[in-house]
Amino acid sequence: MRRLFVELSAPAIAQLSPDGIALLPVGADPVLAESVARDAVATYGDAHDLWLLPAVVRADPDALGRRLCRTPLHRLVVLSSEDAGLPGLEACARDLRRSYGLSAFIVPVRPGTTDDVLDALLEVGTALRPLPS
């Protein structure tokens, strides 16, 4: 399975698991962030129910929140390729949690750190999983 969100039909989106995690590559170098996100989906996608969103240069929390709230996916990991944008992304994640009830986390990416990012993603993915009742 390719796990590309944009390739899903509306009925397929409605059937996604609420345990799934959306990955959003963001930054001035979206190619780097998207490359790491694609590696994560290829390596861990099936095992951890990861879905790749299209890469963006800047994340708009209201647009993102409105779109994700219409899907079963309520967990988001933003892969950021730039340090300068991290405070803004952290504010975006906070807005997504407060305004839309989404679990959102930021994971910075750097060239040559794909394995470190994948490890961090697994830790974040574990943290995003609901506790057993």
pTM of the model: 0.83
How far apart CA 100 and CA 90 sit, in angstroms, is 15
Residue 133 pLDDT grade (very low, low, confident, very high; cuts 50, 70, 90): very low
Residues 33, 34, 35, 40: what is their CA dihedral angle, to the nearest 10 degrees? 90
CATH topology of domain 22-127: Rossmann fold (3.40.50)
pLDDT tens per residue, range 52-80: 999 988 878 888 888 898 999 988 888 88
The dihedral built from the CA positions of residue 68, 70, 71 and 75, taken in this order, carries a sign that is positive
| Higher-scoring residue by pLDDT: 118, 133 | 118
pLDDT tens per residue, range 4-57: 999 999 999 999 999 898 998 988 777 888 888 888 888 888 988 999 999 988
